[in-house]
Amino acid sequence: MSQVQRSTLPDSALSKHYEAKGAYTDCFYLDLPQKISFEAYVEAFYTTPLFKLERKILALLVRKPSTDQEAKALAQGDVSKFSSWHVEDREEQQILLSDFMHKTRSWLKAEDISDDQQAKTRLYFGSVVVPPQTKNGPGEFGFLFHATTGLHVAYSKALLKGAGKRLSQS
């Protein structure tokens, strides 16, 4: 399995418009040497052991529990809410989820990058953090945001790697 890479957001990303609004955005991708459906990717992402831990924490802290069956329903487009998120936008191969406080977004996309030699899929994962609002518009991110960005990046890479590992074993 290849390594998780950081990149700029593709122009087609549903989260792209947040860049122009002063939000923090990031984008990571992982290439797998097989064809992966978008639905399989979303389900795998939200049912990895690491993400299940996040789901348990959210169930305790904000009383927004979720199940693997709900993750599957989200992946298949059957529900618009999952744990502490709701679907803000969705296309055939990508989804943008907003947290219930509208402060963060999660973006996932599966892109077929197969060539004549091999089936390949690029799995994308990105985040959006909306800056605090002031009377004069978007404010600035504070010390805590900047101090935890490195942890966020490591966690994002681990989530994507976990989904890739799960999909490679299926």
Task: State how far the Cα of 23 lies from the Cα of 5, in Å rounded to an integer.
Answer: 21
What are the pLDDT digits (tens) for 119-146?
999 999 999 999 987 788 778 899 999 9
Mean pLDDT over the full length of the chain: 95
Instruction: Report the predicted TM-score, pTM, of the whole model to 2 decimal places.
Output: 0.94
Indicate the residue type of 87: V
Sequence ranges of the domains in the chain: 5-169
- Joined together, the tokens standing for residue 20 give 């122009």
Query: Quick check: helix, strand or coil at residue 6?
Result: strand
In order of 80, 93, 119, the CA distances from 96 in angstroms are 11, 11, 26
Contact between residue 13 and residue 124 where contact means Cβ atoms under 8 Å apart: yes
Query: Quick check: helix, strand or coil at residue 116?
Result: coil
Task: State how far the Cα of 32 lies from the Cα of 112, in Å rounded to an integer.
Answer: 10
Those residues with Cβ within 8 angstroms of residue 109's Cβ, 6 or more apart along the chain or in another chain: 10, 13, 14, 38, 93, 94, 95, 123, 124
Those residues with Cβ within 8 angstroms of residue 6's Cβ, 6 or more apart along the chain or in another chain: 26, 27, 28, 153, 157
Q: What is the pLDDT of residue 1?
A: 67
Contact between residue 85 and residue 75 where contact means Cβ atoms under 8 Å apart: no
The helices-and-strands tally (H runs, E runs) of the chain is 4, 10
Domain 5-169 is found in CATH 3.30.70: no
Q: Which residue has the higher pLDDT, 98 or 133?
A: 98
What are the pLDDT digits (tens) for 2-24?
899 999 999 999 999 999 888 99
